[in-house]
Every structure is written in C-alpha cells, then in structure tokens.
A and B are shown apart, each in its own frame.
Chain A
Amino acid sequence: MGLHHNRSKRGLSTVVTGVIMLSAVAVLGTAIVAWSNSNLFANQQILSTQLAINVNKIKESVKIENVWFQSSSPKFVNVTLSNLGTIGVNVTEVSFGNHTSTHKTTTITNGGILPGQTWSYKSVNYDWQNNSTVKVSVTTARDNIISTEASP
C-alpha cells in the first residue's frame, strides 16, 4: 500500500506576498540602516570635535611669569606670560583688580603666543597703589583663565 502524499500547495499570493514583504523590508531596512549610519556619523563628528576642543583646552598651558610695577610717571604694570604648552595660545583679555572687584579690563587683539615663547603686556596709567595686592587675570581664546597676584 502507499500513502499518497499530499503535496503542499502554495498559491501565488504567498509568493507575491513574500516578494512584497521582502521588497518592503529591504527598502525599509535599507532606509533605516542608511538613516542610522548617517545619524551615527553625525554623532561621531560632534564627538570628535568636542574631543578636540577639550583636549586643546587641556593642552593649553600658560603661566604669568613676571609682573613688575613702574612707579615713576607714567605708572604702569608690565605682565609677562609664558606659553609652557605644545600648542599656540591666543590671549584675548587682560584684567587688573583685587579680590572683590575688577578695576580695568582690556581686550587683546594681538595676543598670540607660540609654544615656548613669551608675551608681555604693559598696562599704562593703571593707578596701582603701594602695598596693595593687585590681581592679574588673563583669558585665552580657549576660555582658560590664568590668574596671579602681585604687590608693588
């Protein structure tokens, strides 16, 4: 005796449905993957940029090396900065004051300091007082603020 195998019968709709599903999935999937990749790439760029900014900010190393006061007229304060790091520094602002207030702030336009070099700034007519501590603050383009205190 033999059993008669029932043959599966797939109708055409199944095939078509499969093809349609495959196509849709392929298209949809491809779109999703593409979108995902572009999104990921954009995030990578942002991350890279942020990394560079922060790393440079960390790498920036500036020190106020010397401050001296001229007493004869015209009075001034001379500040010398030294770039101790491995990247260039751009000084954007120098200010003088004390613990409680800032007396004078000057915007600097030519404050570039190459690595290993020094840069001096003379604040003319700043009326410093004998035996009074002067707080000197220097701001760089990378928003690092370097401060020191000196007294005549």
Chain B
Amino acid sequence: MKSRRGLSTVVGTVFAIIALATVITYVTYSMNTLQQFNQEVMVKNTELIDQGKEEFVISKAELANNQQFNITVQNTGTLPIKITRLYIENKTDGGAYKYDINKDVPTGGLATKIGQNIGFIVDNTRSYEIKLVSERGNTKEVLMGQANAEPLDLQLHVIPSKVPSDFTTTVILAVTNNMSSKTTLLNIVPTISESGSATVTKLTPDPIPPKYGSLASGDTAFFKWNYKVTGTASQSKTFTASLNPSFPGNTASDTVTLADVSFSIQSGTSVQSTGLTTAKTPDNILILHQETQDALTGRQMYSGAGDNAITFNSSSTPTLTFFTKNDTQQNVIVDPGKWNATLRIVSNAVPDGLNAPDIIYHFEDSGSSVTDSSGNSRTMTVIGGASNSGSNGRDSTKAYLFDGISQYLDGPTPLTSADNIRGPNDVTAAWFKYTGTQNSNKKVIYRVGSDNTDYYEIAIGDGTAPNAGKLIFRFNTASGQVPPSPTGNCVQNSGRVDDGNWHHFVAFRDGSYTCRLYIDGNNPTGTEIDLSVCSSGCGATNADWVEPVGKANIARNPANNLDFFKGYIDDFFHWNSYSGGFPQNKVVILRDTNYGANAHKFDFKFERVKADGSNPQNIQTNTNYPVKFWDGKGSSTAWSGLDINYTTPSLPSWTFAKINDVDYGDRLKFTMTWKSGLNMSLRIDDPGLTNPITSFISVPKVSEAFPSYYTYSRATNPLLSIYNGGPYGSWITCLTRAVFDDISSTNSYAGALWYAGTVETCNKNRPFSNDSTLIKVGGTAQLKFNCPMLSPDSFAGQVTSCPSGTAPPLGQYRLYVFLSGYDETGNIFLRTTYIGLVRVVA
C-alpha cells in the first residue's frame, strides 16, 4: 500500500510554518525593542554615574587687586569637566548675577582666573555667595565676606616679651579663619593699639603685610609689626590687636616688659642712672632753671632737678623765658593732651606802693583761729562758732559770717606794736557786707580797746538816728587826760552802708585829731575831718596817743560785749603807723586788688622754635590768664603747693625734630609775662623743694626726654648718680663706664669707674677690683669715674682732678653710662643709658 498524505497535513504544515514565522518575527521585534530600551537605560545610567564621578573643588577664591573675584577650580575627579556658569549672589544687599564661563578642566588640571574679566566689581564690605556649575550639573559654592560675622581665632605674640630699653620687639598677629559657615574672608586688615607705661616706636608705619585680600576657611594669616621699646626696667607695654571690621570684642593681647640686659641669666633689677649728679625727673616734667648757658635769650628748662635756687619778683622781672636744649638722637614727640605750668609762688601781700601791713586777715583758714598773714602773729580766736565755710567772701574766697548775736573774733593780748594804735598815721582797711536789720544801733566792725577811755573803732552807726547805717571811724585819746578830750567821729555821710552789699573802707588817722574815711574808694566828706580841739593837757608828751587796753575784736565791742556785727568781713588790713601818707589813689588800688582766683594776670605762651630761636610756631598762647592768690602768711618763702597755675586746652601732638644737617633740632620755648594784678615772687631751680618740687612745666607723654643742659668740668672726675628701682638690691662692678661721644667729631672718650659710693672699686695699686656696697631697693649711689680718655685706663687718671691735655676738648658731647653689676639673686645686668647732651667746660 502506498502511504497517503492528505492535504490537511500539507495545509497544516503551511499554517504551522506561517504561525511560527509570525511568532518568530514578533519575538524578534520585541527583543530588539527591549534591547533599544536597555541601551537607553544604560546610557542614562552612564550619564548619572559620570555625574556622580565628577569631582572638582574651588581651590582658591580671593579678591584680586582689580577688585574682581579670582577663583581657581581644580578637577579632582577622573573625568574631564567643563565649568559652564558662575553665579554671584550679594548676600548683604540682595541681587544675583549669572555669567557663562565655559572653561574646560582636564583631569587633575586647574581652571584659573574665573571671575576675572566678567566685569563684576566686588565691594569688599559686602558678603557674597559664589556658585560654580559644571556641564554635568554639579555645583560648588563658596561664601566670601567680612570678618565681623563671627569671632575669629586671633593670637597675638610679642617676641621677645622681655627686652632691655632701646631694643626692638616683634609683634605677630595670627588670624585663623575658623568661621562655622566656611566663609572665605575678604580684605583682612589688622589694627593694633598700645597701652602701658613703656614707650614704643613703630619702626614701620604699617604691618607686614598691610592686609590679606582673602582668607579661605581653615587658613591662617600672619601680620607682623616691629617696635622699639624704651623706658625703665619693669615698665611694660600691652599690645591689643583686632581686625577692621571685626566682631565686637574679638581681640588678642600680649605684653612686652622692659628688663635689664643680661647674658644667659636675666636680672630683673632696675638700676639706672638718674643723671649727672642731679636727679632726673620724669621725661614729661621740665624743671625751670635759672642758668642761661646754651639757652639763647632765656633760661634752661629740662628734666633735671633744681640745683641753683633763685627767686624772681614780677615787679622787677615781669617776663621770664625758658628754652629746652636742642639736639636729640630721635624726634621728641609729645602726645596730644593738656600742657601745664606748676609754679611755686608767693603773692605779694599788698599792691606795689603800699607799705607792708602790721596785721592781715584773709579769713581763709578753717578751725578755731584766724591766722595773721602779716607774720606778726596777731592770731585771733573764733568765738561763738562763727564759720567761714563756702566761698562767700570777696572774689569768691572765704569770709567769716557773724550772726550779730554772739559770734566774733577775739584778738590776742597784750596789744603789741602791730595793733596798739598809739600815735597818728593808723590805717585800717577791710571789706564788709552787713546782712542784718537796718536800724540805728551800732555794729562794730573792728575795735581796739576794752573800755571807753582810749579806743580805736570802725563801726556802722552810733546809736543815734542821724548816723543810723553810716560808717563811723572813731578814736579816743582821753586816757590820762583831765578832763578827757572828746571822742571824734569820722563819719561816712554819703548814705547807709548796712544795705546788704559789699563795701570797702579805708580808715586813715592822718593826724593827732584828724582822719579820713574812704568808702568804696571815695571820700564823700571831702577833706580830713578835724575831730575836736584838745581841751587840756594837749601839750603833754604823747597827748595824742590812743592807748587802748585789753584787746582788739572784730564784729564785737569788747568794752560792753555788745554791738555785734551781723554779716561778712573779709580782707582786713591794719597799719599801726603808716609812713608816706595814704592818698586816695592808694585807697583805690587797695580796693581794686583781687585776693581770689584773679589775683594775678599773666600771658603764657608755648612755642616751638628752631635751634637758634628763629621760626617760632605757636603751640598755645593765653593772654591775661588768671593765677590765684597765694598767701605767704608773712613768710616770703612759703611757696605755693602743687596747684597747677596754668593749663592749656587739649592740644594736638607736637614733634620736636632731632638734630639734622641744617640745624640742630627744635626747642620748646615757654614764656610767662606778668600783666596786671598783684605782683608775686616766683621760685625756680630750688633743690630744697621736694614735695612738691620746684617750678616746672609738664607736657603729655613724650616719646623720649627733651635734651638736657648737663655740664661737666673736665678738670674734675665725672660724677653720676644712680637709683635702684628694685626689685632686688644690687652691686656695681668695676666694668662700669662713662662715655663721652663728641657730636662734632668722630672721637669719643670714656672714663672707667673709680668709686661707687664710698667704695673704691677699681684701683691701680690693687690687683683685684672691688664691688660697690649693696645698693638697696630705693637707694641711690654716686659713681665717680676716672677722667675720660680716648683709651680709657682703669688705673690712670685716678686723681682728684683730671690733668689737662688728656681730658676731652671743650664742646658738646653725648653722655652714655654703661652700668655693670649683679643683684641679690645672683643675676647679672648690663645696662646702657643715654644721659643726654653734656657740655664739657674747663
């Protein structure tokens, strides 16, 4: 049989093939589609991976000199990057700016100067946020701003922290940007201030460097200042540094302290020279001296104690001028502030032309007694609790207020030639202000005599109505006369004086029985009053004597314990016998004399002049400057105390230039001229005035002392005084020297130490040297040197006077002293001090 394949099989096969082909086609398409999708996903993934792998940092962000940002980007990843955009947002004022950059940065490479040449000018007082964007969309930001948003880490170091005088120290400020916000700081500018007693001079005006343009987060900037420090050992200077601008209170401080020179072991003892046999005063204190050498047309003033006292009176010497010496090694810079003159004066008791009074009461002292300022010791006792408190007297001075009931001043007994009246030519003067009720009662101002026989009296009223309120000057010479001569009155007839106002009187008994009475400078009664005619016994010896017994009183009648005065009495004078007459012009002069704050009027002037006195530049001038009255209380040497007599307004800083090639440095000139008021005596250059010291000028702090006027006689051995300021006692050794540096040649001369105090330290006849005795803290010693020589020989020149031919030539020298010694702790010191200019004389 043959096999038979039906058609169905064929058809089925065909359909199967068709179906299969269709399925295969669809499946193939689907797989291709899926593969495409997968490819896209893989591409996207690759992009995302690349975006994640991209790494770059802003390695530098600063402000360039052209006030534009200068940003550097570093590619720290493994793919090249492209910086496409820069955003700048002003965080202070608002506003944002976008710039297209398009800078390629290869792997490991840098893109620099981003931000330059885009035209954006940075205001370095503002804060900014900078954002850089890459082509893959990654960003990096940096904040740039001011240093005042947060406190920064500031450290200040003074290196070295202990230096000898005239040495330099370095001040270093470290600023670390530790801002929590990771801000890059713009424009870091340091500031520094100094405080303390030592003197410092900047060697460079600006810090090194003057500023940092920018400081990245975590970085540290360093600034440096160099200072020269001068002063005495143990003085110090504290430096305080900050930034501008800075967070409030963000400062750092450190201190430099002056110490003596040391080798390997430092001694803290301060032994310093105080001057050429005279003590030095602080650098800003200029003592007025009487010497005129090298002081142009005036007298010397410098920081050296007085040594040759003299008194000037303004009546004979109305003008005094003082100069500082010229020449210094450095400029003398006076700080801003007030300048003062403290003058030791005694005011004249009365104006010129008036005789010296026998009794003076100014009523300025407190307590239970009233001083007699004439020096005749007619001290009165305060009775009843009368008080002079306040400034109720004439010229705002003190004056006693009497209550008109029981208060008065009781004079001493017995009466003396100062107040016993006797013959004519008695003068009494005073100021009074009656504050009681106006009536006709008598109110005694001054009375001598405790009974009604002989007395001398000035009072208001006499108990009679016609004389109510009038000033009456009465004296009685009846004692011993039979019958007694009547009392006479010298009466002020112009009007009442019990009106509550101040009035001045001068009562002048110009003859046996005559008198003149001046009220407020006037004599309304005209000529002298002829009191009365002596009725009997008029030819007897001393018939016209007023011979009171008892005592003198102010504000009471001692004869009856009545007639109390109510009110103030001030500036009382009494001449028991005035020769030469007391005309009205003297009355007016006395009336017009101010015994208060305006007793004297002076012109004061400070000037800066050249070495030869030319080119005066006014520092401060005050005309008719008031100087207050100083009561010598009868002593011509009771000099005033520390009251500053003249003070300028606050002045700016002044510089007195050092010696140069053209001239020899500036001088300070001080002139005082008496103009009006009382005359006075001025004491200057007095070494005996120590507390307070003799007359001086004080200026604000100075960078160094004004040059001095020291002289050295080359026929003698140089003598220097030294002072131990502590903290340890010290010894001086033989290595100490005095050096004279000739300013007009290249020669210098030095003298070796011979004596330290009473100890002969270096002696040619002894193989070893001696050390001085211990100079205790606060103690002084005098150093005696061998004669200065070109080749100093510690064994030569040990004679009481320097032989001629070996000593320095006459002229000007700079004197240095080199001190060598050691202290109680065993530490050594070596110290060189510049004394100043010294004139070598024969």
- Beyond A55-B37, A58-B44, is A29–B14 a contact (Cβ under 8 Å)? yes
Q: Would you call B22 and A37 a contact (CB within 8 A)? A: yes
Residues of chain B contacted by A47 (CB below 8 angstroms) = 29-30, 33
Besides the known contacts A58-B40, A66-B131, A118-B85, 18 further A-B residue pairs in the complex with CB atoms under 8 A apart: A21-B8, A25-B11, A29-B18, A36-B18, A37-B22, A44-B26, A47-B30, A51-B33, A58-B41, A59-B40, A61-B137, A65-B85, A66-B96, A68-B89, A68-B96, A80-B98, A82-B85, A82-B137
Residue of B at shortest CB range from A62?
B137
Q: Would you call B15 and A66 a contact (CB within 8 A)? A: no
What is the bound-complex CA distance between A54 and B135, given in angstroms?
24
What is the bound-complex CA distance between A111 and B211, given in angstroms?
48
Query: Which of B11, B44, B137 is within 8 Å of A22, CB to CB?
Result: B11
Q: Would you call A44 and B47 a contact (CB within 8 A)? A: no
Residues of chain B contacted by A63 (CB below 8 angstroms) = 137
Residue of B at shortest CB range from A29?
B15
Interface residues in A86-128 (C-beta closer than 8 Å to B): 118
Give 4 closest A-B pairs by Cβ, nearest first: A63-B137, A68-B96, A55-B40, A25-B11
How many Å from the CB of A43 to the closest CB on chain B? 7
How many Å from the CB of A20 to the closest CB on chain B? 10
Query: Which of A29, A44, A65, A71 is within 8 Å of B137, CB to CB?
Result: A65
Tell me if A48 counts as interface (CB < 8 A to partner B). yes
What is the bound-complex CA distance between A82 and B85, given in angstroms?
10
Residue of B at shortest CB range from A44?
B29
| 26 sample A-B contacts, Cβ–Cβ < 8 Å, listed by A number | A21-B8, A25-B7, A25-B11, A29-B11, A32-B15, A33-B18, A36-B19, A40-B22, A40-B25, A40-B26, A47-B30, A51-B37, A54-B37, A54-B40, A59-B43, A61-B47, A63-B137, A65-B133, A65-B137, A66-B139, A70-B95, A78-B96, A82-B84, A82-B137, A118-B85, A118-B98
What is the bound-complex CA distance between A32 and B11, given in angstroms?
13
Interface residues in A25-78 (C-beta closer than 8 Å to B): 25, 29, 32-33, 36-37, 40, 43-44, 47-48, 51, 54-55, 58-59, 61, 63, 65-66, 68, 70-72, 78
Residue of B at shortest CB range from A36?
B22
How many Å from the CB of A25 to the closest CB on chain B? 4
Tell me if B701 counts as interface (CB < 8 A to partner A). no
What is the bound-complex CA distance between A25 and B25, given in angstroms?
23
How many Å from the CB of A127 to the closest CB on chain B? 16
What is the bound-complex CA distance between A36 and B136, given in angstroms?
47
Residue of B at shortest CB range from A22?
B7
Residues of chain A contacted by B36 (CB below 8 angstroms) = 51, 55
Residue of A at shortest CB range from B139?
A65
Residues of chain A contacted by B96 (CB below 8 angstroms) = 66, 68, 78
How many Å from the CB of A80 to the closest CB on chain B? 7
- The listed residue with most B CB atoms (<10 A of its CB), out of A29, A32, A54, A65, is A65
Q: Would you call B18 and A70 a contact (CB within 8 A)? A: no
- Annotate B121-149 by CB proximity to A: 1 below 8 A, 0 otherwise: 00000000001010111010000000000
- Beyond A29-B14, A54-B37, A84-B137, is A66–B98 a contact (Cβ under 8 Å)? yes
Query: Which of B11, B94, B136 is within 8 Å of A84, CB to CB?
Result: B136
Interface residues in B24-57 (C-beta closer than 8 Å to A): 25-26, 29-30, 33, 36-37, 40-41, 43-44, 47
Q: Would you call A72 and B98 a contact (CB within 8 A)? A: no
Tell me if B502 counts as interface (CB < 8 A to partner A). no
Q: Chain B interface residue count: which class?
A: 20 to 34
A-B contact count (CB 8 A): 77
Tell me if B87 counts as interface (CB < 8 A to partner A). yes
Residues of chain B contacted by A61 (CB below 8 angstroms) = 47, 137
Residue of A at shortest CB range from B37?
A51
Q: Would you call B11 and A59 a contact (CB within 8 A)? A: no
Residues of chain A contacted by B98 (CB below 8 angstroms) = 66, 80, 118
Q: Would you call A59 and B44 a contact (CB within 8 A)? A: yes
Q: Would you call A71 and B94 a contact (CB within 8 A)? A: yes
Residues of chain A contacted by B94 (CB below 8 angstroms) = 70-72
Residue of A at shortest CB range from B41?
A58
What is the bound-complex CA distance between A119 and B194, given in angstroms?
57
What is the bound-complex CA distance between A138 and B29, given in angstroms?
36
Residues of chain A contacted by B33 (CB below 8 angstroms) = 47-48, 51
What is the bound-complex CA distance between A99 and B18, given in angstroms?
59
What is the bound-complex CA distance between A71 and B137, given in angstroms?
27
How many Å from the CB of A54 to the closest CB on chain B? 7
Residue of A at shortest CB range from B30?
A47
How many Å from the CB of A29 to the closest CB on chain B? 6
How many Å from the CB of A21 to the closest CB on chain B? 6
What is the bound-complex CA distance between A116 and B137, given in angstroms?
10
What is the bound-complex CA distance between A3 and B11, given in angstroms?
36
Residues of chain B contacted by A58 (CB below 8 angstroms) = 40-41, 44
- Annotate B77-97 by CB proximity to A: 1 below 8 A, 0 otherwise: 000000011010100001110
- Annotate B1-18 by CB proximity to A: 1 below 8 A, 0 otherwise: 000000110010011001
How many Å from the CB of A64 to the closest CB on chain B? 9
- Beyond A71-B94, A78-B96, is A43–B26 a contact (Cβ under 8 Å)? yes
Residues of chain B contacted by A84 (CB below 8 angstroms) = 135-137
Q: Would you call B133 and A21 a contact (CB within 8 A)? A: no
What is the bound-complex CA distance between A36 and B96, given in angstroms?
63
- Annotate A2-29 by CB proximity to B: 1 below 8 A, 0 otherwise: 0000000000000000100110010001
How many Å from the CB of B16 to the closest CB on chain A? 11
How many Å from the CB of A95 to the closest CB on chain B? 21
How many Å from the CB of A135 to the closest CB on chain B? 18
What is the bound-complex CA distance between A33 and B94, given in angstroms?
72
How many Å from the CB of A71 to the closest CB on chain B? 5
What is the bound-complex CA distance between A82 and B139, given in angstroms?
12
Residue of B at shortest CB range from A65?
B133
Q: Would you call A18 and B7 a contact (CB within 8 A)? A: yes
Residue of A at shortest CB range from B135?
A84
Residue of A at shortest CB range from B87?
A66
Residues of chain A contacted by B87 (CB below 8 angstroms) = 65-66, 68, 80
How many Å from the CB of A131 to the closest CB on chain B? 14
Residues of chain A contacted by B37 (CB below 8 angstroms) = 51, 54-55
How many Å from the CB of B27 to the closest CB on chain A? 11
- Annotate B270-304 by CB proximity to A: 1 below 8 A, 0 otherwise: 00000000000000000000000000000000000
How many Å from the CB of B629 to the closest CB on chain A? 69
What is the bound-complex CA distance between A118 and B133, given in angstroms?
12
How many Å from the CB of A60 to the closest CB on chain B? 10
Residues of chain B contacted by A59 (CB below 8 angstroms) = 40, 43-44
Residues of chain B contacted by A21 (CB below 8 angstroms) = 7-8, 11
Residues of chain A contacted by B26 (CB below 8 angstroms) = 40, 43-44
What is the bound-complex CA distance between A28 and B7, given in angstroms?
15
Residues of chain B contacted by A43 (CB below 8 angstroms) = 26
How many Å from the CB of A91 to the closest CB on chain B? 16
What is the bound-complex CA distance between A43 and B40, given in angstroms?
21
How many Å from the CB of B21 to the closest CB on chain A? 9
What is the bound-complex CA distance between A21 and B89, given in angstroms?
86
Residues of chain B contacted by A68 (CB below 8 angstroms) = 87, 89, 96
How many Å from the CB of B419 to the closest CB on chain A? 91
